[in-house]
Chain A
Amino acid sequence: MNFLRVRGPTLPNLLFGTRSLQTSRLWLEEASVAPSKTNKQQAKKKMLRDFLRSRKQAREPASNHPLYMKVPDALRFLRAVEVGQPRSQQTITLTTLVISEKGVPPVYGNVQLPTPLRNSKVVVLSDDPKKLEEVQDNFKNVHLVGGRELVDKFKNEDIEIDFDKVVATPDILNYTNQNLGKMFGPKGLLPNVKKGTVSENLIELMNENVSSMPFRQRAGCISLGIGKVEFSDKQILENIIATREAFLNTLSNQKTKKQSTLGKTTLTSTHGPGIVIDFI
Chain B
Amino acid sequence: MSKILRQINFLNKISYVTKKPQIFINTEKYNAIRLTFQVLNHGGHMGARQFWRKYLPTLQFYNPNFRIDLVRIKNEEKKNEVPCVMEIIGKDNSVVETIDMKDRQYDSIMDELLEKLDHNVVPEDKLVKVGEGH
Q: Which residues of A contact B (CB under 8 A)?
A: 66-67, 76-77, 79-81, 83-84, 273-274
Contacts and interface: CB of A to CB of B under 8 A. Distances in A.
B58 interface: yes
A87 to B, nearest CB: 11
Given A66-B4, A84-B56, A77 B64 contact: no
Nearest to A84: B70
A66 B8 contact: yes
A84 B15 CA distance: 17
Nearest to B57: A80
B61 A77 contact: yes
B134 interface: yes
Contacts of A80: 14-15, 57-58, 60-61, 64
Given A77-B14, A273-B11, 9 more contacts: A77-B11, A77-B61, A79-B61, A80-B14, A80-B57, A81-B57, A83-B56, A83-B57, A84-B68
B52 interface: yes
**Secondary structure of the B contact surface, majority rule:** helix
Interface residues of B, number: 21
A84 B71 CA distance: 8
Given A66-B134, A76-B64, A81 B14 contact: yes
Residue from A66, A67, A80 with most neighbouring chain B CB atoms (10 Å): A80
B21 to A, nearest CB: 10
A274 B7 CA distance: 9
Interface in B92-133: 131
A247 B58 CA distance: 35
A160 B129 CA distance: 54
Interface string B27-67: 00000000100000000000000001000111111001000
Contacts of B61: 76-77, 79-80
Given A81-B14, A83-B68, A84-B52, A273 B60 contact: no
Nearest to B64: A76
A67 B70 contact: no
B40 to A, nearest CB: 16
A77 B61 CA distance: 7
Contacts of B35: 84
Contacts of A66: 4, 8, 131, 134
Contacts of B70: 83-84
A123 to B, nearest CB: 35
Contacts of A84: 35, 52, 56, 68-70
